[in-house]
Every structure is written in structure tokens, then in C-alpha cells.
Structure 1
Amino acid sequence: MAHMVLAMPSPVLVGNTFYLRVRVPADVPSSKDGIAITLPVGSNLRRITMKDFVKVSLETREPRIAKERFSTAYAALQTVWKALKDGPKPITHKQSLAIAGEIRAAFIEAFDDDPGSIERWQRVLTANTSARAGKLNGLTIPTLTQQAKDMERRFGELADARLAAHGILLAPQHRQRLLTQVADGLDEMATINLAKAGGDYSDNGASQKYPTFEQSRPSANVVAQASSVSFSDVIDERVRRLSAGKDAAPPRDRTIDKYRLACEEFAAHRKSADVATVTATEADRWKRAMMEAGTLSNNTIGQRLQNVRTVIEWARKNSLGELYPHGNPLEVVERPSFQPKPSDLSTYTLAEAKTVLAAARKETANDLRWLPWVCAYSGARIEEVAQLTKGDFFKMGDDWFYRLTSMGGKKLKNRGSERRVPVHPALIDEGFIEFINKLNIKHDIRIFTTRPTQRISEWLRKSVGITRKELKPNHGWRHLFDDLCMLGGVIDAAKLYITGRMTGRSDAGYGKSDVMLPGLASEMKKISSIIAEDVTLR
């Protein structure tokens, strides 16, 4: 008896539009409420609910185009079916980052020739920030549940499309990490495309940060069983908790990255990412191995030990003390001794500062033109200044100020970093306030890119020619500003407030009320102009 040959499904004409409409195989797991899946249709992604049938418009009346789109969508659908049959799978941190990198690269390539307007990418960055904070809809209360919904709404379909391309149905406990990494990658993408829209193609988007995706395979490297709690799980939970609530203060991405780096290296050394099985002996051996390798300073090794210890402490708190009830196992591991580097080596010399500010005058990109100047005359961390919006600037009497705040999804080092900073007269003379007032953007749109640190550093080293290794290109302004305050006789309370350093003493409240802002501005005016020829540091 001849075998029956099943016909390959084909596009179905419904009205005057072609559709993909196929029955779901009996061996594919289903749900009475249906399963949400994402399929590619042309250059778009379409989110649909799969029940007994899968039906999605191919968005064309042309038979040839319909066949091409059907073929692509049906191949993706078969991958989805296989993933559903295989069941939810965990992915490693490296795989998750690779998927985020694929999404980032696709958007950079798609808009390389024609990035569109600057406003487009400013809107993208604003929407990404709102999704992280659970504020996509300004009328909703930004609860933890709302934040999860907004992250799904903003990034979920893109993540699912790439997961489907790799044949993965993701285990739920790994989803938040993936969405956060996708959000980070899309922030980078929007920043790069924003620069291109402004005529700056110096960053082509290529990055060694993102690895190539590789399917999981058995190895002697880091293995985290699905039932165990990994370092990454603990870090993700920490981010989730700190981001919850209306007045939450989410941790900075750079801060979380340093914990991930330390934990990944420790996990690789001990060949396990399971937090619950860490011993002090493992940590001490890791410390000694790093010291013997001789590639990291003892101070850096100590910081990485401390970062792992902190993550284990988060795990203890998450378990309400059930994990390691007798104490953190790294508590007894001694940090290596080190010779601290004198702070003056990290600081700009006056000659270097003048060179950088003079070079910035010749730049047209907002970041390179103004961020060095604002940091030089405030001692602010560059990540804080990069978050400024037009609405952060205000005038009181004859003096201009700007707010450094965590409101609106912005991030500061700590709550003590919330402050209002007087605009130094040198900045006004330079045309900074005129530049702000002429900006044709909404008051809640950021003026600068969200991640300028690397760009500024590369510009300083390669274009400006400041190559002294000990200098910290961005933090060095902070040290120099302290020196300028001392030279000008600025009172300590004002200096601490302006730079966002809180001591806990009663005088740390300087400048908190509007009444004291004029006095704060008077203290700022004591600081000499760096460009002026008569400035000499004592």
C-alpha cells in the first residue's frame, strides 16, 4: 500500500489578503487559554495566541510575496512547536547576553544608512526608561507587577523572536534577566543611532561585549542545575526588589555589571554557579589563584572578593536567613593587602584640564562639547550629568541651577546624591545656559547619551592626547573640583552637598531648601575659572 504524502501547507486567501493558517499538531502542548507566540511577517514581528489553529495575516495581496513570508513564518512556527515539545529550558548568562546582542545588532544594521531623526531615538530611550520603571502608561501606579508588564510589553516580543530562532522556550526564572539585557542592548543601540542621526558615525555599533550564541552543551565549566539558585538568579532578584515600588531607586547598570563579573569568574573557578554550596576554602583558593596570576592588583582582587560576598549576603536575606544561617562563608576570607595609589595621580593637572576644556570647545556632539565642562565645574559623576533633561534646569533670582535626581527613572549612586547644583559663571560665559535654552526638545528628554563614559575616555586618549595612565578620565574632574573648592575657600558643607557626598552630620543638609540655594550659588562663585590664566593650585 502506498504511503500517504502530506501536502506542504501554503498561504490561504481570506478576502483579498493572504494568511498563514495551520492546525497545531496533537503532540504540541497546548492551553485552554491559548499560548502567546511571536512570528516574523516580512520585516515585522506579530504576537498571536495559538490554540487549535495558528492564524496570522501575511499582510500582502501578492501571491509571490505571500509565499516568501509564509515560508519564513512557517519555519519559525515549526521551531516554536519543537521548543514547546522540548519544554522550558534554562539559558546561561552568556547565552542571554548573546541574544540581547543579536537584537541590538539587527537594529543598528537596519538603520545604518538612514537613522532618521534625533527625536526618534530620544523617544526610544525615554520609552525604554519608562518601561524599566513601570511607567509606560503615565496613569498607572508603577508597582512591581506593572513593571513586569511594561518590560514584557516593550521587550518581550523581540526576546521571544530570537529565542524562537534558536529553538528555545525559556524557563520563567531566566526571563527577567534576558529582558533586562535586551533593554540594555537597545539603550546602546538607540544611543548609537541617535549619534548617527546627528551626523556622528564614529561608533559603527561593533562590539566585543556581546558573545556569539552557542547552544548549551555538557562541559566541565560552570553548570547550574535548574533547581539550584545561581549567582545570576540572586543578582536578578536583587535588581527586581530594588526596582519595585513607586519611589524605587533601581541600581545602576554599571554597579550590577561589576557583581556579575566577579560572580561569573568565581563560578568558573569553582566550576559551579550554585550559591548554596560556596565554601570559604573555594574563595581563598580563588583569591590565591588571582594573586599568583599577577594580572590584577591586590585592591581589585579584594574588591571582587567583596562583590561575591555581597551577592551571597543578598541570597541569605532573600532566604530570610535559611541559607547559611551561621554566617556568610566569605566573612573569614581575608582580603589581600595593597598599597593605595595617591589620589593626586588620578586627578587632572591644571594644564591637562585646560587642554581638555579647550578641545571640547571645538566639538559639535553634545556629549563631547559639554560633559567635560559640566563635570569640571561641579565635581559630579559623569553618569549623573549624562541624565540631565531640559526640565532639570531652573533659575532662582539671578542664578541658574540644575537638579541631579533619581526621579523619572534616573539613577544616582545613593539617596544622598540627590541635589541641586549651581551653574558656575564660567559655564554661563561659555554659553551652556544659552545652549540649554535653545534646545528644541521636550522637558523630559535627555540632553546627552545615557552611557558616555567610554566615549569620553576614548576621545580624551585618542583625540585630545591625554595618555597619562594614572589619570581617571571622568572621575579625575571630581578630585580637581575638590582642589578648586579648597583654593577658593568654599565651606565644607557646600562642597559636600554640590559633589553629592553626604556625611550624616547636621551640616550635610546645606542647600536642601530653596532659601539656602542663593548661598550655595555664592559658594560656587568662589571657585576660579580653570581656563583663566591666573589660576594656580596650591
Structure 2
Amino acid sequence: MYLFRAPNSTYYTRICLPKSLRDNGFPFDLKISLLTKRRDEAVERNFILVPQLRKLIDNAFQEYNPSTFRDNVDVLVNQVRDSFTLRDTVRLPVRQVRTASSLQSQTVTMIASPATKTKTIITVKKAFAKFIISKQHAKVRPLTIEQLKQRTEHFLSNLTSRCVSQVTSADAIRFRDRLYQEGRSYKTNKDYLASCRQFFKWCKQMKYVTDNPFQDITVQEQAKKKSQDEERERWSITDLVKLYRSSAFQSKPDEFKWITTIMLYQGLRPREACQLRVADICNKEGIDCFLISEDGQDQHIKTASSLRYVPIHPILIEKGFLDYVANRKAARCIQLFNYKPDGKWQDWSKRYCQQFGRLQAAIGMPANARPTAYSFRHTFIDELKQKGIEESLVAQIVGHTHQSMTFGRYGKKYPMQKLATVIRSVTFLELESSREMI
């Protein structure tokens, strides 16, 4: 994302879209005129426009198809432009391929449409079927679609309204109250409402409804018996030593041990580690790194923030990880490990997690009373937290969206050298002194 000045001296904002979106028919980038030839004014308008565009791009991974995305961008840009005080410019096109006159015509239409509030008459059942098809066309992951179906159908199954336009906020409130009575967790109830909200947001975009009945419906968070930190169990050093020094772990193939160690020392999600390709071990700014992306066949990342480079921890290099990579490359392997997408949801980490659970049981770690494979990531993050590492640094390393608007939207990425220094600070001396680590 950057600010640039066109040959006619007008300033533009340009944002490149992630490759995963471009591969699914989304535009390569967004070039948007800021309607000014003054740099100070352009910078101010850029600060207003970019956060809202970024939110659209983040939502595009699950909520939009390319056509809807372009329409939403146009609507957003025109709304933001209405707040601009025009001085020495006239309205310019949202995209360079459009003319000013066509944009003005579209703007007039969009301004007039809220007054008429026309909507298409369609049944709830038919609208929901179209919604699911839209998600499938947008290449949303099957697991995400199944969750949307299950949660939204829980609401739709008790509806008395046949037409989707007849659903009201009162229906949404009754559903929220029913969720309370059914005894699910706060997070689960929140997910149920979010799925319904997403469906009716799509209905509004399709002009099936004039308002989203779930727009302002929220769930009340109950007092927790455990803090968030306690809920996210991490590995104790005692359990780590027990795991690594066990004969059950040592008898596992190298790939199993490398995946375990990568999650512990790099903070990768299980799926991110299991789906790594040989080509994902690369050099960035002179530092050996993992590339976490979805460029490979069947690779997936959780969000746009998950796309990242992660410097390789020195302990992995010391224990021979780059030699392992070289051997896979010499054997002309595409994948770094032999795990494949498995199960109904094509989960790269399913088989690894099953193997890991059986290993834990074998060494006396009973189910429901032990840390999980995902807990390696929690352990890595907690180690950085205890060392007082800045949250924005941790977020870039582990692929979280940073909550701060200043850091998240306008701050540049940290250089690899700085990330490498942070990663080196994670140590488990009791493990590293052991010859049996890998």
C-alpha cells in the first residue's frame, strides 16, 4: 500500500490484494483517486480511506465474490469521498478503467436507491441456498461453509416467516435468548450470531431485505471461571522434557519431530507446519525463513495476516533442519513433509494431531488433562509475552492482526533481522542440552 502522484499531479492510494484473492478472480490492486493535488490533503484522506478498504479486503476472504467486492469498494469510496471537501479537483474514477461520467452516474443511482428501498421477494429457503452457492463460488473453505450452514440453519429452522424480508430484529432477539437457554459458551453463541449476521448482510446486498435484523444483536459475555491465559494451556518445561525424552517420541519419524519442534520454536499453527513445501524454506533479507502462504496446491492460511515470513530459529539450524530440507530437495519432493490434506475438511494437520494424541496417551498424558499440539503455539507466544516483547512484533511473527490502528494499518513491516532477534530469545535450555531433541 502506498501513496503516489499521477502525471496530472493528482494523488492516488494503491493497495495490492493478496495472491490468494487474485487467483480467485479479484483485482490485482485498487487504485483510488484522492481527488487532490495537495500532498498534505492526500495524506489526510489516505488515513481515512485505507482502514476501511483494508476491512473490505479482510472480509473478502470469506464474505464476498469478486463482483460483490468491486461493488462494495465503489460504494465505500463514494461514501468516503462525500466527506471530502473538494478544492481544486473534480470527481475522478474509482478505477482507472472507468470514466468520471460513469462514476457520477453510478453515484446518483446509489444515492437514490436508499429512498426507494426496493427489494426482491424470495423465500428464506431459496435465499439461503443461493447464499451457500455464492460462498462455494467464492472458494470459501468447505469447513467454513459447513459451519455457516449449521449455525444459520439453527436459526432458520424455527422461523415462522416464509419470506426472508419478513424476518425482523425481534426474531433475532428470540434466537439470541434461545442460545442463552441452550447453554453454549459465549464464543460459540457469538459465532452463531455472526453466521446469521453474515447471511442477512448478503441478503441486504442482494436487495432481498432492506435491513439486517442481526446488525445490532450481541451476546453478553458471562463472568469466566478461568482467565483467558488459563484457558489457553501452554506446555510446562516438565511436560516438554517428558515428551522429548520419551522413547515414544524418539521412535517417531524425523518429519513428526521436526513439525513438533517447528511449532514450539516458531509459533506456527499445526496446519501451517504440516502444509509447508520445500520451496517455503527461503532466504529473505539474508536470513533463512519459513514462508507461510497459500501459494502451493491445497495450501490455506487462516487470514490475510497469516501470510508472513518467519526467520528460522538457530536451534533448528543447529539440530540439522536445513540438512533435512536439502535432502527433501535432492529427492525432488514438493512437500517438506509427507502429510497430506485429510478428512472431510482436507485438514493438513489431522493425521499429525491424531498421531500426537496417541503418543501423549502412551507416555501418560490423559485426554482432557493435557496440552495439545496447538498449545506449542500458545507456549511460543507466552514465552515472548513473559519477555516483554512488543505486541506488534509478536503479531507479525505469529500471523495475528494487530489491534492497534496505528501499527496495524500504517506501520511498516519489521525487518527480518529484528524478527530473528526476537525469535532467538525463545529458549528451552533443558531441551536444547539434550541429544535426543531430534
Asked if 1:352 corresponds to 2:236, the answer is: no
Tell me by how many angstroms 1:268 deviates: 2.9
Answer yes or no: is the 8 Å Cα contact 1:488–1:528 preserved in 2. no
Question: Which of 147, 156, 161 is the equivalent residue of 1:258?
Answer: 147
2:313 alignment partner in structure 1:
424
Letter of the 1:387 counterpart: Q
Render the CA deviation track for 1:454-496: whole Å, top value 9, x for unaligned: 4444444443133463766243223211221234554544322
Letter of the 1:499 counterpart: V
Asked if 1:483 corresponds to 2:379, the answer is: no
Distance 2:369 2:165 in 1: 39
SS in 2 for 1:377: helix
Distance 1:463 1:271 in 2: 50
Distance 2:129 2:208 in 1: 16
2:326 alignment partner in structure 1:
437
Render the CA deviation track for 1:126-169: whole Å, top value 9, x for unaligned: xxxxxxx899xxxxx8759xxxxxxxxxxxxxxxxxxxxxxxxx
Distance 2:377 2:151 in 1: 26
- Larger relative contact order (CA 8 Å, sep ≥ 6): 2
Question: Which of 197, 220, 234 is the equivalent residue of 2:131?
Answer: 234
- The 1:477/1:271 distance shift into structure 2, 3 A limit, reads farther
Question: Which of 264, 272, 277 is the equivalent residue of 1:389?
Answer: 277
Answer yes or no: is the 8 Å Cα contact 1:230–1:274 preserved in 2. no
Question: Which of 192, 197, 221 is the equivalent residue of 1:304?
Answer: 192
- The 1:227/1:490 distance shift into structure 2, 3 A limit, reads closer
TM-score scaled by structure 1? 0.48
Map residues 24-423 of structure 1 onto 2, 5 A cutoff. 143=25, 229-241=126-138, 243=139, 251-270=140-159, 275-294=164-183, 296-317=184-205, 319=206, 322-325=207-210, 327-340=211-224, 341-342=226-227, 343-350=229-236, 351-358=238-245, 360-364=249-253, 366=255, 368-395=256-283, 399-408=287-296, 410-423=299-312
Distance 2:163 2:276 in 1: 40
Letter of the 1:524 counterpart: I
Distance 1:407 1:274 in 2: 42
Letter of the 2:128 counterpart: F
Tell me by how many angstroms 1:401 deviates: 1.0
Asked if 1:505 corresponds to 2:406, the answer is: yes
Render the CA deviation track for 1:320-356: whole Å, top value 9, x for unaligned: xx2322x211224341432344223322232334444
Letter of the 1:330 counterpart: F
Distance 2:204 2:336 in 1: 38
Unpaired runs of 5+ residues, structure 1, are 1-132, 136-140, 145-224, 244-250
Letter of the 2:234 counterpart: Y
SS in 1 for 2:383: helix
SS in 1 for 2:157: helix
Distance 1:498 1:232 in 2: 39
Answer yes or no: is the 8 Å Cα contact 2:280–2:290 preserved in 1. yes
- The 1:254/1:142 distance shift into structure 2, 3 A limit, reads closer
Letter of the 1:463 counterpart: L
SS in 2 for 1:331: coil
State the percentage of identical aligned residues. 18
SS in 1 for 2:290: strand
1:165 alignment partner in structure 2:
none
- The 1:397/1:472 distance shift into structure 2, 3 A limit, reads same
Letter of the 1:300 counterpart: T
Distance 1:271 1:355 in 2: 57
Unpaired runs of 5+ residues, structure 2, are 1-19, 27-121, 342-346, 434-438
Distance 2:369 2:129 in 1: 33
SS in 2 for 1:498: helix
Tell me by how many angstroms 1:374 deviates: 1.4
Tell me by how many angstroms 1:530 deviates: 6.2
Tell me by how many angstroms 1:523 deviates: 2.2
Letter of the 2:359 counterpart: S
Answer yes or no: is the 8 Å Cα contact 2:315–2:432 preserved in 1. no
Tell me by how many angstroms 1:391 deviates: 0.5
Answer yes or no: is the 8 Å Cα contact 1:403–1:419 preserved in 2. yes
Tell me by how many angstroms 1:307 deviates: 1.7
Answer yes or no: is the 8 Å Cα contact 1:316–1:324 preserved in 2. yes
1:45 alignment partner in structure 2:
none
1:496 alignment partner in structure 2:
395
- The 1:281/1:360 distance shift into structure 2, 3 A limit, reads farther
Distance 1:258 1:282 in 2: 21
1:464 alignment partner in structure 2:
360
SS in 1 for 2:154: helix
SS in 2 for 1:299: helix
RMSD: 3.8
Answer yes or no: is the 8 Å Cα contact 1:235–1:311 preserved in 2. no
Tell me by how many angstroms 1:276 deviates: 4.5
Answer yes or no: is the 8 Å Cα contact 1:461–1:467 preserved in 2. no
Answer yes or no: is the 8 Å Cα contact 2:240–2:431 preserved in 1. no
Answer yes or no: is the 8 Å Cα contact 2:123–2:162 preserved in 1. no
SS in 2 for 1:496: helix
Distance 2:333 2:412 in 1: 24
